[in-house]
Amino acid sequence: MVRRSVLFSPGNKPEIMRKAAESEADVVVFDLEDAVAPADKQDAREAVREVLAEIDSEREICVRVNPIGTSAAADLEAILQGAPPDSLMLPKTESAADVQAADRLLAEHDASLPVLSLIESAAGVLRADAIAAADATAALLFGAEDLAADIGATRTSEGTEVLYARERTVLAASAAGIDAIDIVYTDYTDTDGLREETAFAAQLGYDGKMAIHPDQVPVINDAFTPSDEDIEWAERILDARDRTDSGVFEVDGEMIDAPLIAQAERILERTRRST
């Protein structure tokens, strides 16, 4: 399953949720947390349940519940009365115990869903490896805005204040063999800025990026889809590997060894997942 673009849609806006499910995003998230005011939570739960029952989407449909210890149980009680989503997003995940608690809540409703764990606090960053290794965790997502608020950092366009946490999140996900999803780019009108930041996220090793507007999805998908040039390079590398017994060989004047072979394999695997 590919998760290049993860598009959020407010859980109290049925028409927007339906449109999001028809977008080109790989994952569509019906949001019961930040996008919904406390007074509107119950109405949003009912709206999400109704939309889940109606739609037949090729997208991965995910629901972001409220954090463990607040109203996650009430969210699941409501939405799991009908058709379940494909996955569950758990905000403010601070330990493997949070993931396990979400898994137990799902089991109470005879459900088992992959959990997309959102890392957005100092505790979550420091325990990212354990969170990633939890059985139910299928992806780590990094939330820079909440992390900055948690540690008292000032957000900058360069993002140096959250770079360590951003890198630690992708390392934890990679070590566990799961997806790493990068931060939201909040200015959805700034396509050039989004393209630059998404390219940097791909360089860091992320597999995808969160989006808050459908117009961001094509830019994000493009950044995490290998180019024709990259695919051709990878195919040449692996073809040459298959024709030699040597651990080091030359392709187009470039010395190829195990790290470059692994890179070629990742490119073709990402291509396969994207088609």
The whole-number average pLDDT for the span 260-275 is 82
Mean pLDDT to the nearest integer, 200-217: 96
Give the SS3 label for residue 268: helix
Q: Which CATH architecture has domain 5-224?
A: Alpha-Beta Barrel (3.20)
Cβ atoms 132, 180 nearer than 8 A = no
Mean pLDDT of 71-96: 96
Compute the CA torsion angle 74, 80, 84, 87 (nearest 10 deg): 30
Tens of pLDDT, residue by residue over 96-106, are: 999 999 999 99
Closest CA relative to residue 136, chosen from 187, 173, 102, 175: 102
Q: Which two tokens stand for residue 72?
A: 């996650």
The average pLDDT across 210-229 equals: 94
Which pLDDT score, from 0 to 100, does residue 204 have? 96
- Asked if the model's pLDDT at residue 34 lies above 80, the reply is yes
* pLDDT higher than 90, residue 228: no
DSSP 162-199: GHHHHHHHHHHHHHHT-EEEEPP-S-TT-HHHHHHHHH
- pLDDT at 243 (0 to 100): 86
Q: State phi, psi for 254 to the nearest 5 degrees.
A: -110, 130
Q: What is the CA radius of gyration of the chain?
A: 20
Confidence band of 191 (pLDDT split at 50, 70, 90): very high
Is it the case that residue 126 has pLDDT exceeding 80?
yes
pLDDT for the residue 117 = 98
What is the rounded distance in angstroms from the CA atom of residue 91 to the CA atom of residue 141? 9
The answer to which of 115-124, 161-170, 197-206, 261-270 has the lowest mean pLDDT is 261-270
Q: Is the pLDDT of residue 234 over 90?
A: no
Residue extents of the structural domains in the chain? 5-224, 228-274
